[in-house]
Amino acid sequence: MNVLDLFSGIGGFSLGLERAGMRTVAFCEIDPFCRRVLAKHWPGVPCFNDVRSLTAERLAADGISVDAICGGFPCQDISWAGNGDGIEGDRSGLWKEYARIIGELRPRFVAVENVTALLSRGLGVVLGDLAALGYDAEWQDVSAEDIGAPHPRSRVWIVAYPSGQGLEGLWCSRRIEAEIADACRVNDAANAAFIARLHRMGKRGLRTVIDGGVERPSWAGQQWPETQPLLYRVDDGLPDRVDRTSALGNAVVPQIPEIIGRAIMRAAR
């Protein structure tokens, strides 16, 4: 299944979907640092630089066919930490470009990510635009902590598909819980190694929680200052470190798109 990855960042969405058996055929990312990261890890995949100029004709001219579209459109105007302009803001308003591309390409599946503030600051617009294009949608709040990461990073994940395809329940809570449990089992060894490494580094506050019979790393009080990069908030001569921190802050946890990808591949079959 060929994927077009919009607002790609450093490729977290594609990494997860490819683990599920999908194939990224094009990226679209405007940030120069992120584009270099994508070029390093996906050297043969074209990367367009502006979603506003990306069209179905342009993709077709490059011989790119698309079965699914994924992407987390900008959250700055939606986030509670942002300016409050909402989904019509200059940056979060790029959702309209995402919707336009969906309408032009008519993919079999669409996967969208954003902060949970979207639930009260624009989810109706997103669902309304998808419905106007003839797509049904399901959405869930899934956090990084759900799949064993030591931080919450709670996000809304939307999966959409053309109406009348009989795909209802593709992204339902029961299936998500089963997929998360499976993902945690797969990640048990990695989590154990992660905990051991942190203990060797002398990190404080680490604890292990039991959730559904699965051990997951967590942190007392949900605060992890010890894990933050060493940024001194002055010009320390290491701008690349700042770029990496920003890119990671905007990235998605790949295990969640992997769960979505497996659900999509199962539905496609």
Catalytic residues: 75
Burial 198-224, CB ≥16 within 10 A → b, else e: beeeeeebbeeeeeeebebbbbeeeeb
User: What is the C-alpha to C-alpha distance for residues 177 and 258, in angstroms, rounded to an integer?
Assistant: 14
Could you tell me if 45 and 26 are in contact, meaning their C-beta atoms sit under 8 angstroms apart? yes
Residue 26 pairs in a beta bridge with 4
Q: Are strands 214-219 and 206-211 parallel, antiparallel or unpaired?
A: antiparallel
Amino acid at 258: E
Chain Cα centroid distance, residue 190? 21
Q: Enumerate residues 6+ apart whose C-beta is below 8 A from 142.
A: 154, 155, 157, 176, 180, 256, 259
Could you tell me if 69 and 89 are in contact, meaning their C-beta atoms sit under 8 angstroms apart? no
